A and B are shown apart, each in its own frame.
Chain A
Amino acid sequence: MADTQTQNLTERVSKLRLQSLNAVESLSSERAELLTDFYQKKLGIMSVPVLRAMSFAWLLEHKRIAIYDGELIVGEKGDSPKAAPSFPELCCHTLEDLDILNTRSLTSFKVSPATRKAYQEKVIPFWQGKSIRDLLFAEMTPEWKDAYDAGIFTEFMEQRAPGHTVLDDKIYHHGMLDFQQKINASLAKLDYLDDPEAYDKQEELKAMYITAGALIRFAERYSALALELAHQESDPTRKSELEKIAEVCTHIPAHAPRNLQEALQYYWFVHLGVTTELNTWDSYCPGRLDQHLLPFYEKGLADGTLTRDTAKELLCCFWIKFNNQPAPPKVGVTAAESGTYTDFAQINVGGLRADGSDGVNEVSYLLLDVIEEMRLLQPSSSIQVSRKNPDRFIKRAAKIIRTGFGQPSIFNADLIAQELMRAGKTLVDARCGGSSGCVEVGAFGKENYNLTGYFNLPKVLELTLHNGYDPRTGKQLGPQTGEVAKFTDFDQLFNAFEKQMLYFVDIKVRGNQVIERLYANYMPAPFLSLLTDDCISSGKDYHNGGARYNTSYIQGVGIGSIADALAAIKTHVYEQQTFKMDDLLKMLDANFEGHERARQLLLNRTPKYGNDDDAADALMVRVFESYFNAVDGRRNTKGGEYHINMLPTTCHIYFGSVTGALPDGRFAGKPLSEGVSPVQGADQHGPTAVARSVAKMDQVRTGGTLLNQKFTPQVLDSEEGLNGLVQLVRGYFNLDGHHIQFNVVDAETLKAAQTNPEQYRSLIVRVAGYSDYFCDLSKQLQDEIITRTAYDGF
């Protein structure tokens, strides 16, 4: 399947690509050991930012470096491709964790005996009980812990640092030496007389200065290595390539890049820097790569140093670098929440330019070629579609989508600009922003926007139905909001639900506020800070309100499931009085055992969200509004606000596993609906009806929503099929939909892959805000994807 797309690649790229695909994911103890050395040897009295900056410099100075045969873009985060470093200062793996990682059947990480030994003798003795994770759990209240254990919400920062952010165009105009100058200017302006924080700012700025120098030194190490290899190289072509690499690594990142190779290599060093400093969520992303690279591409074509093909080859080499970096291996909870190697780096293509004009250019199409031909999980890719972009652009992407690899996903650039402006960004910052990770939006290069955790909406309904009691954990988790059997109308029930929701949002936000301060105080990120406006001018860290904008998101999960559950109650308990509430509760507690006929009635004789049926969709809107009101506009500790978005990653599986039977007929433990998509299989009237249902949510007030659609390959076989897809996207976006993505693979193929995984290793499917190998997914998630409604034969 992959061969047809990848046959155009150059020999060099094919080889590197295959190496990347065949490399086995492993856990590297290098970073953990170096960091332990640093903390053991260097610990003296110094400010926390400077300490972190010096540890960063230490890591970059001492980590092993290598340039692999044929590479044009150099540098790895681990000590070899697909070797994932660990971050014991944030969360320290136990030996048991290592053994699980080494042996589990899905998304395993090889742990060599040497790595295990290093952990046993060096890393664990030093870090055990002293990581941010340990501190974080110690600081949480019993209510928080109970709700967390019950699966009412999750916590993103318990083993990964906030990141969720994207670079803008600053590195293409400024070298690290320029950043150091800016830092000096900012230091010079500090007002020690009137600003009580002047000293803290001085330390933060000093820390940024140190990290900028560390990155320059890191590149110089690569430059020296390239020269050394060039001396040994007998092949004249490779020799000159190595000399070129040496030259590139001398010029950048100290200075602004002069050509395409320098631009890509500069970004890559920055990427390695950010993801070495901390294990930032969603790794790090270059943002609008097509717009950033266009000047270098045009200049190269004009002065004859570049052709479309050589540019493409460089980009392919760049792509492979992303694919070599698996997500940091987790600790504790094994594969329950999110089992994937994908680290959520996303390349944005298209959209708007700063002046509001059409952002699609020649490099956009070049990148789409690369995406199609490389066919790699990482980096993930998305197109940002504005009404100003041509249909040709969407259609080009649709041709990739129909090859069934789940990429690129499609975003509404015009709506994103509106979302960002509603959340307080300037017009230009909004236009230059976009989506990252799964679907969340931010002002690129200027915002700290964090996903802080998923929030299980149907679970809160389950608690409401039990007067605040959780049948699974056997605990009274929420307030007593009344015996629902005594309620006389639907509004009473809904009011009780709102009270429960508010109660748990309060708990979640309280936890978040503390966690934000933990990172601000103990884990500043001076390198990420120097890349994020306005940390340098404010003298504040990324984690401490230094960014121009600061958003904390809480992601609602299961809106489809709760809409259908409420529709079932409203219809059958209060309107048609098919059941008494007591009887319905008994059925739910029995997980419908002995009540199959009633369950079928709930499934098939109830308005369902996703069919453009206002009866059900209005309940979705009502829950959305309540959730919005419970979260939006609360203040975080960084001078910014809380907003919501509606995305699940794979959390709808985990949340489903802790949620009992629901009134829509869903059995206990089964997955919840994902994103803003309807309950799997509940949408019976095609994709336009789904789009209209979903668009009843006022998505402009979110920071991103996720809509999955599944098509069988036959639908997209023809020109009509492709145009239909393009126009479906246009129609949904005209209705202010935020995002839509397509899985193009038939259920038969998926079932066959489940039975014979060895024959379908290369089968890639869209999971949530990212693609993954189908055979790497848990059985539950595989089943869930199979049951998402597929459209065919219209």
Chain B
Amino acid sequence: MSETGMIFDIKKYAINDGPGIRTTVFFQGCPLACQWCHNPESQANKPVLMYRANRCVLCGACVEVCPQHAITLDGFSSTDRSLCNTCGVCAETCYNGARELSGYQVSVDEVMSEVLRDTPFYEGSGGGVTFSGGEPLLQHRFLLELLRACREHELPTVVDTSGFAAWEVLNSLREYIELFLFDLKIMDDERHIQYTGVSNRLILSNLRQLAEAGSAITVRIPLIPGINDDEENLRASGEFIRSLPNICGVELMGYHDLAAAKYEALGLEYQLKQVSAHGKDQLLRSVKIFEHLCLQVKIS
């Protein structure tokens, strides 16, 4: 019996998660709680119930099957989340997919049989498998087994991480990872804590150690209007990155509010409702800051 872990999705034809055509495995659970998180369903270390009202046909099947009697029908299907124990029975009965349980247990073999399917597309495109999340390092034993299995099948691997993990964990996985997509959010620690829930000290020190240890790294910065897109933060980020060896490049990821619907589906409030996406000019201004520091930068 192979190691198991919890993921919430496997996406194929991923062309923005590292080189070539890739399959991205999304891990469930994250130690951070970034306000702009576009996968909020992945934050908890357990499955979460999502309800998308626009798919609901108000058939009432969920009301009947819920063992906790947590669901009522009142213009839409409403869940008392204090009663819900995410048993998933309602999602099973909801054929329209209005109710879905995000996060499920899988074995290494199961993940591998899925990711190996697209091998013909990795070869030639220089693609492979990307582990993302959530935070993949949070389930590092599971991740290690997956990485080893990928090595065995000669699949190139990328890990997309917040960098928030013990150095020993990172260090133990390092040799199996062709490329890190390492997120760098806010340089000021206080603000980092305010917006992500954790300090950036461990993250920054991991990034440095990883770079110095020789791992290939692309630094990814989500550009969140009004939160980390100020010149001071970007310049500080750029200078920090410039001081590191082995950085393959910097990717600025423009903000979008496509995740707002997910917050609604989770019964959570989206705190960045008022924030609107950058215009092209603003993005280019940010790019300039990094280019001035002689860093290879692109927008994605």
Binding site for B on A (CB under 8 A): 596-597, 600-601, 603-605, 612, 685-689, 691-692, 715, 718, 720-721, 723-724, 727-728, 730-731, 734-735, 791, 793-794
Residues of B within 8 A of A691 (CB): 121
CB distance from B235 to the nearest CB of A (A): 26
| With contact pairs A600-B95, A730-B125 given, residues A735 and B11 touching in the complex (Cβ less than 8 Å) | no
B258 within 8 A of A: yes
- When the two chains form their complex, are residues A794 and B124 in contact, meaning their CB atoms are under 8 A apart? no
Does residue B204 face the partner (Cβ distance < 8 Å to A)?
A: no
Contact assessment for A731 and B117 in the assembled complex, using a CB-CB cutoff below 8 Å:
no
- Structural contact, A603 and B95, CB atoms closer than 8 A: yes
Contact of B75 with A by CB under 8 A = no
Chain B residues within an 8 Å CB radius of A604: 95-97
What are 29 contact pairs spanning A and B, CB under 8 A? A596-B57, A597-B59, A597-B95, A600-B96, A604-B96, A604-B97, A605-B95, A685-B12, A686-B13, A687-B13, A689-B12, A689-B13, A689-B118, A692-B120, A715-B15, A721-B15, A723-B20, A723-B125, A724-B21, A724-B125, A727-B20, A727-B21, A727-B121, A728-B21, A731-B121, A731-B125, A794-B12, A794-B13, A794-B15
**Chain A residues, CB < 8 A from B127:** 727
* A612 vs B96: C-alpha distance when bound (angstroms): 21
Q: Does B14 contact A (CB under 8 A)?
A: yes
Least Cβ distance of A792 to chain B in Å?
A: 10
Q: How far is the CA of A597 from the CA of B93 in the complex (A)?
A: 10
Q: Report the bound CA distance from A596 to B96 in whole Å.
A: 10
Q: Cβ of A720: which chain B residues have Cβ within 8 Å of it?
A: 15-16, 300
Decide if A794 touches B59 in the complex (CB within 8 Å). Answer: no
Roughly how many angstroms separate A274 CA and B15 CA in the complex, as a whole number? 47
B61 within 8 A of A: yes
**A-side contacts of B125, CB under 8 Å:** 723-724, 727, 730-731
Please, which residue of chain A has its CB at the minimum distance from the CB of B127? Answer: A727
Give per-residue flags for B14-29: 1 if the beta carbon is below 8 A from chain A beta carbons, else 0: 1110001100000000
Q: CA separation between A489 and B63, bound complex, in Å?
A: 36
A720→B13 CA distance, assembly (Å)? 11
In the complex, what residues of B have CB within 8 A of residue A715's CB? 15
Q: Write the chain B residue with the least CB distance to A695.
A: B120
Nearest-CB residue, chain A, relative to B24: A794
Known: A794-B11, A794-B14. A597 touches B21 (CB 8 A): no
Q: How far is the CA of A731 from the CA of B126 in the complex (A)?
A: 12
| Min CB gap B116→A, angstroms | 11
In the bound complex, CA of A757 to CA of B116 (Å): 45
| Bound Cα distance A731, B97 (Å) | 31
B157 nearest CB across to chain A (Å) = 18
- A688 close to B15 (CB less than 8 A): no
Question: Besides the contacts A603-B95, A691-B121, A731-B124, what 13 more A-B pairs have beta carbons closer than 8 Å?
Answer: A600-B57, A600-B96, A604-B97, A685-B12, A689-B117, A689-B118, A692-B117, A723-B125, A727-B121, A727-B124, A731-B21, A731-B120, A734-B124
- List of A residues within 8 angstroms of B13 by Cβ: 686-689, 724, 728, 791, 794
Q: Chain A interface secondary structure, helix, strand, loop or mixed?
A: helix
Among residues of B, the one whose C-beta sits closest to the C-beta of A734 is B120
Does B258 lie within 8 Å of A793, measured CB to CB? yes
**Minimum Cβ distance to chain A for residue B75 (Å):** 19
A794 to B11, CA, bound (A): 7
Q: Which residues of B contact A685 (CB under 8 A)?
A: 12
Complex Cα distance, B120 from A692, in Å, reads: 9
Residues of A within 8 A of B124 (CB): 727, 730-731, 734
Task: Output the residue of A685, A687, A691 with the most chain B CB within 10 A.
Answer: A685
- Chain A CB within 10 Å, residue with most, of B16, B20, B57: B16
Min CB–CB distance B121 → chain A (angstroms): 4
Partner of A692, one of B97, B118, B300: B118
In the complex, what distance in Å separates the CA atom of A601 from the CA atom of B95? 6
**Using Cβ atoms and an 8 Å threshold, which residues of chain A touch B16?**
720, 794
A731 proximity list for chain B (CB < 8 A): 21, 118, 120-121, 124-125
Report whether A686 and B12 are in contact in the complex, using a CB–CB cutoff of 8 Å: yes
- Return the chain A residue nearest B15 by Cβ: A724
Q: How far, in whole Å, are A604 and B258 apart by their CA atoms in the complex?
A: 24
B211 to chain A minimum Cβ distance, whole angstroms, is 24
Residues of B29-82 at the interface with A, using a CB-CB cut-off of 8 Å, are 57, 59, 61
A663 to B13, CA, bound (A): 30
Give the 10 A-B CB pairs with smallest separation, nearest first.
Answer: A727-B125, A600-B95, A724-B15, A731-B121, A686-B13, A686-B12, A604-B95, A688-B13, A688-B12, A688-B118
Q: Given A727-B125, A791-B13: A597 and B120 within 8 A (CB)?
A: no
A732 to B215, CA, bound (A): 33
In the assembled complex, which residues on chain B have CB atoms less than 8 Å from the CB atom of A721?
15
Chain B residues in 8 Å Cβ range of A692 = 117-118, 120
**Known interface pairs A597-B59, A794-B16. Does A686 touch B11 (Cβ–Cβ under 8 Å)?**
yes
Contacts of A791 in B (CB 8 A): 13
**In the complex, which residues of chain A have a beta carbon less than 8 angstroms from the beta carbon of B97?**
604
* Cα A690 to Cα B20 with chains together (Å): 18
In the complex, are the beta carbons of A688 and B258 less than 8 A apart? no
* Chain B residue nearest to A387 in the complex (CB): B124
Q: B126 — nearest CB in chain A belongs to which residue? A: A727
Instruction: Kindly report which residue of chain A lies nearest to residue B60, judged by CB atoms.
Output: A597
Smallest Cβ distance from A59 to chain B, in angstroms?
52
Nearest residue in B to A391 (C-beta to C-beta)?
A: B124
A60–B124 alpha-carbon span in the complex (Å) = 53
Q: Verify B21–A688 contact, CB threshold 8 A.
A: yes
